[in-house]
Amino acid sequence: MNTRVDTEPRALETTLAILRRRWWIIALTTILVAAAAFVFSKLERKEYTATTTVQVLASPQVNPNTGLPLSASSTAVDPTVQATAIQLISRQPAVAAATARTIGHGLTPGEVQSAIGVSQQTTTNLVNVSATSTSPALAAAIANTYVSRYISTQNAQARASLSQSLRLVKSQLRALPSQSRASAQGQALQAQAEALRIAIKIQNGGVQLVTRAATPSGSSSPKVTRNAALGIIVGLLLGLGIAFLLERLDRRIKSVEELEHAFRLPLLAAVPQNSAFSAPPVLDAPADQPHKEVFRLLRAYLRYFNVDKELRLLMVTSAMSGDGKTTVAYNLAEAAQEAGTKTLLLETDLRRPDLARHYGLAAGPGLSEVLTGGATAHDAVQPVAITTRVNGTHAQVSLDVLVAGQLPPNPAELLESQAMVDVLAWASEHYGMVIIDTAPVAVVSDAMPLLPKVDGVLLVSQVGRNSTDAVAFLRDRLTGVNAPLLGVVANAVREKRAHGYGYAYGGYESRNAVTADTPAIPASLDSPGHVSPPDDRHR
């Protein structure tokens, strides 16, 4: 039950997120389709419809055996009779031909037949006969002439049938002897003959004209407003379909929630998109820089991973290059050093190192020289001065950095060597926290030998950049070697994407968004009741 309640809001949030990301596709498609419908409607040739109304009547019924009338004309009509009449009116090639001859002007019977439309008025015995043409006068002429010819044809056929019955009765009368004409049989035949004469005079053919068609003052098509409205509806539906199709085909992770779900790890931090994070430290900069608060909070959360074992060696890696793992590593190292923890920032990316350039340090000696015996770790460490606040006053502290050094031809072998094990042991002994910046795990295997030797791994991923396939590959690769995964850091998150997300681990979350305006670490961080240790499966 809880799963269902939780799933429904997530599905709604996912749908709204798709609409926010793809709104321009939906809007553009809607505008284009509506504009196309409007333009084509304007360019379409105008047509005019004229309508005449007739009444369907019940014709005198004739005995099929004797040919004599059974009932008189009536205004009541059976629905079946009316439906049959509608079909008869609309399917009269002879009437269409007669109409074409009467009107002339090159009009053909086929054009008349295609112009005629017949429809029934609701719950009445009235039938509308309409004609559509590019000329309003011609439309009225076709409708009136067609109905007139049809009524005339029906009347002629009905009179011919009754006249045949009258001739039959007269022949029966003539066949009677003269003395028998005064008999009951003779009188009956005479009455029948008189009834047939009356029926012939009043015969209506089953259809009677009610109103003639007037020349239409406005066109019946195209309906520009209606077509434009339909274009908006069709364009909106088409835009939604295209948006959701593109979303389905786009394999990139587009939100921090998707990132958390793809890694199957708790979200530890959502780092806002801010160029200040990649800037080197300035000596006279204020200690309480607001944009650094996100890393102070992350450092504070990492303290709670010390429940099972002390978290000293912390690896920071990513699936692909460009995710910002190095930015996260040195900002987290600075936050830890500012908090009073003696910290070493260790660069093990021996292929594309960046720390020397970022801090303006010497490119060597570095880790590669230490691993090959060209220098000691103590001698290769370079201090970086950063500003912090101690007892309410600004002070300068030093962050130790061990850069990569000269690029070796065999980085994987060096990182897998006993010398690297010795470096990690020395760093763990002399520092309270060691932040290890590695090469992307999904690109090269350099960092794989370090996984069993570290106390925890932070995975950095940039929202909107990595694909679900790359994340799945990294996740499976790390879980396959039982790496001590702590959680995910979403980097360069736009403010809209970060809204409602902050830090989370161990099944407990704080949904306060972390932005550059966050003033300080919340007091809840010091309350163990609000935070629990991470799940054992992530250790």
Residue 178 lies in a domain: yes
487 lies in which domain range?
256-519
Higher pLDDT, 11 or 450: 450
pLDDT of residue 506: 33
Residue 424 lies in a domain: yes
Looking at the fold, whether 193 and 62 belong to one and the same domain comes out as: yes
Is 70's pLDDT higher than 70?
A: no
Looking at the fold, whether 274 and 399 belong to one and the same domain comes out as: yes
CATH assignment at residue 158: 3.30.1890
- Say how many domains are in the chain: 3
The last residue of a domain, from among 211, 238, 264: 211
Residue 338 lies in a domain: yes
Helices 224-249 and 23-43 sit at what angle, rounded to 10 degrees? 150
Looking at the fold, whether 274 and 365 belong to one and the same domain comes out as: yes
Looking at the fold, whether 294 and 189 belong to one and the same domain comes out as: no
User: Where are the strands (E) in 136-280, listed by range?
Assistant: 207-211, 267-272
> What would the pLDDT profile of 437-483 be if each residue is shown by its tens digit?
998 887 788 888 899 899 999 999 888 777 788 788 888 888 888 88
Looking at the fold, whether 465 and 495 belong to one and the same domain comes out as: yes
Looking at the fold, whether 30 and 137 belong to one and the same domain comes out as: no
The pLDDT-based confidence of 43 (bands split at 50, 70, 90) is confident
Looking at the fold, whether 427 and 368 belong to one and the same domain comes out as: yes
> What would the pLDDT profile of 374-427 be if each residue is shown by its tens digit?
999 999 999 998 877 655 566 788 899 999 999 988 888 999 999 999 999 999
How many helices (H) and strands (E) the chain has is answered by: 18, 14
CATH assignment at residue 491: 3.40.50.300
Helices 256-263 and 468-480 sit at what angle, rounded to 10 degrees? 40
Residue 449 lies in a domain: yes
Judge if pTM exceeds 0.75: no
Higher pLDDT, 429 or 524: 429
- Percent over 70 (pLDDT), the chain: 77
Looking at the fold, whether 207 and 271 belong to one and the same domain comes out as: no
Residue 403 lies in a domain: yes
Residue 9 lies in a domain: no
**Distance separating alpha carbons of residues 267 and 285, to the nearest angstrom:** 30
pLDDT of residue 276: 67
Looking at the fold, whether 143 and 244 belong to one and the same domain comes out as: no
Higher pLDDT, 204 or 383: 383
**Distance separating alpha carbons of residues 140 and 145, to the nearest angstrom:** 8
Residue 355 · residue 436 · CB < 8 Å: no
Q: What is residue 112's three-state secondary structure? A: helix
Looking at the fold, whether 476 and 452 belong to one and the same domain comes out as: yes
Looking at the fold, whether 372 and 311 belong to one and the same domain comes out as: yes
**Do the strands 313-318 and 433-437 form a parallel or antiparallel pair, or are they unpaired?**
parallel
Looking at the fold, whether 65 and 161 belong to one and the same domain comes out as: yes
Tell me the average pLDDT across 516-527.
Answer: 32
Radius of gyration of the chain (CA): 46
